[in-house]
Amino acid sequence: MKVLLSILTILAIPLFLYAIDVFVSLSSRKKKYDFRNTHHHDFTVLVPIYGQIKYLENSEYLSQYGKQVMLLTTGGESKAFMRDLKSIAKKYKFQIFISDWSSKQNLKKRATSGTIRDRLIRDALHTVKTKYVVPLDADSITMEPISIAVGELVAENADIASVRLTPSNGNKNWLTKLQKLEYRISMDMRYVIPWLISGACQVATTSALKQIMNRHSLFFQGNDVEIGLLAKRLGFKVVHIPFEVHTALPETLKPWLRQRLAWAAGEFRLFIINIRYALWHPFFWIYGAGIVIIMFPLRYIALSSHSSTLLVILALYALLIFAIHWKYKNVWLAVMPLYTLFSSILLVPLGIIWYTMMVIKDHNFGVISAKRHV
């Protein structure tokens, strides 16, 4: 009985992931999106930028939108930062929103926690005059005009939409190639679960996003999915528009690990701290809370006694992945099972520690509630 339990424990994640992958692949093929190519220009692009001006990597791309761009920053930035920000804004005719609050920042690295980004979005929304708004990360760009994405939201008569993130550096090295495969599977899932909003970019009506952000916990990790959850709870229409937004991936192990630890903390916050949302999204929570997090101690037990079984299962999982994604002809598909196993074994427990550290640092448990906060 113990042997059977251990084997089932090892099997749980790859088989569940395989089931999700098959379901998502089949569903996404049936839900191909036909763009209408209608443009809508009544929108504002919100770009949070703070800490260091070098993080604003897409200013030239944004220059085509001029006054439709609003750069959001805190009231506690350095004189040099503000001088450079105002110079860029003047050059490209951008708007600037400066909050009436400041926050301590580590200027040596990008923020992967804290409430700064979401507070800036929340507060800036109260000054936006356009009917639609597009929050966009400072390192992300689009190949097609943003007006097309807004036009699709209007045509869908929707309140908020998830978009499709595509890595801009996905072929840089082995690490980015693995992440590129991850992103492809994750983005296909938006066809099935459109409320899995991506943090790098969303398209929304200003009124809807304002109501959502007024209820947002402001917890950084998982902040994007929280937007989708709140949108659903508030009765807004959420759709997926596969409008491609290019974003940069970590290219070396240190920033990758730092990012993934923060993501793991966000997953613990989402699936365990906010487990009551399992009532509305049981399938999603069975996987995230049950299979990935709650069952992780059993995987250690299984690994210690059934290494040969694990090798067989990983080989089988690799073959199944190839069977689904053979059209991409990517040799890195064979490494995906080990990549997934590593994440489920190491990052899950460390994510709990990272979440605890975030709570202590920011005095914020990240509890999601549809009640108005501000």
Tokens at 352, concatenated: 């709990």
Helix/strand/coil for 242 = strand
What backbone phi and psi angles, to 5 degrees, belong to 160?
-155, 150
Domains (range + CATH), the chain: 1-31+252-362 (no CATH), 33-251 (3.90.550.10)
Give the pLDDT band (50/70/90) at residue 293: confident
96's CB contacts (< 8 A; 6+ apart) are: 70, 71, 73, 85, 86, 89
- Global confidence as pTM: 0.88
- Type and span of the H or E element at 244: strand 238-247
Is the predicted pLDDT of residue 148 greater than 80, yes or no?
yes
Alpha-carbon distance of 309 to 312, in angstroms, equals 5
Helix/strand/coil for 282 = helix
In this structure, what is the dihedral angle of CA atoms 107, 140, 270, 215, given to the nearest 10 degrees?
A: 90
Phi-psi region of 102 (alpha: psi -120 to 50; beta: other; left: phi over 0): beta
What backbone phi and psi angles, to 5 degrees, belong to 115?
-110, 5
Q: How many other CB atoms sit within 10 Å of the CB of residue 27?
A: 14
Asked if 35 contacts 59 with a C-beta cutoff of 8 angstroms, the reply is no
Strand 141-142 versus strand 238-247 pairing type: antiparallel
205's CB contacts (< 8 A; 6+ apart) are: 131, 132, 133, 153, 159, 160
What whole-number percentage of the chain has pLDDT above 90? 59
Alpha-carbon distance of 144 to 146, in angstroms, equals 6
pLDDT at 334: 72
Give the pLDDT band (50/70/90) at residue 328: low
pLDDT at 241: 96
Mean pLDDT of 313-317: 67
Instruction: Map tokens 């979005």 to a residue.
Output: 121
pLDDT at 327: 61
Q: Which residue has the higher pLDDT, 209 or 8?
A: 209
N residues, the chain: 374
Average pLDDT of the chain, as a whole number: 86
Alpha-carbon distance of 190 to 254, in angstroms, equals 28
Instruction: Give the CA angle between residues 142, 147, 150 to the nearest 5°.
Output: 100
Is the predicted pLDDT of residue 111 greater than 60, yes or no?
no
Q: Which has the closest alpha carbon to 243: 90, 12, 39?
A: 39
